Amino acid sequence: MRYYTFGNNFPSGGGGGDRWSGVRFWLTTLLVVWSFSAIGLGWLVNSFFILIGLITVVPVIAFFGLQWWIKRSIVTSDCPVCDTTFNASRSSQFQCPNCGEPLQEQQNKFVRLTPPGTIDVDVQVVE
C-alpha cells in the first residue's frame, strides 16, 4: 500500500520521480508570484522581497555596529599596583582581578580609587 502526502503526490516508481521535485517547487513559486502580480498584489511580492533583504542585511549591520560599540566602550590597560593587563568598561569602578585593588578608568588608563582626603604616597627605597 502506498501513502501519498502533501508535496509527494506522484509515485516515485523506479525511475526518478524525485528528479522533478525541485522544478515543481520553482514552477509553483513562479506561478504564485505571477498570479499575485496579475491580480494587483505586486506590493505583497515587493514587501516579501524587502523583508528577505532586511533579514539578510540587518544582522550584518548589527554585527559590525556591535563590534564598533564594544571597541569604543572597553578599555585595556595595566593595573597601577600589580601591572596586570585586563579589560574594563569606560567610566566604571571595578577591582583588579589579580590584586583586588579598587580602580576606575580615566583617560584610557586605570587609576586607583581612593576616598577623599587620602594621600597617595609612592615609596622609594634609598640604599
| Model pLDDT, residue 22 | 82
CA–CA distance, 63 with 120 (Å, rounded to integer): 43
Whole-model pTM: value is 0.46
Domain ranges within the chain, ordered by starting residue: 23-70, 74-112
CB 112 within 8 A of CB 102: yes
CB 103 within 8 A of CB 95: yes
Cell readout for 45 is: 511580492
Cell readout for 100 is: 583586588
Q: Map residue 54 onto helix, strand or coil.
A: helix
| Model pLDDT, residue 66 | 94
Consecutive 10-residue runs of the chain (127 residues): their mean pLDDT?
Answer: 60 57 87 80 81 94 94 88 86 86 87 80 84
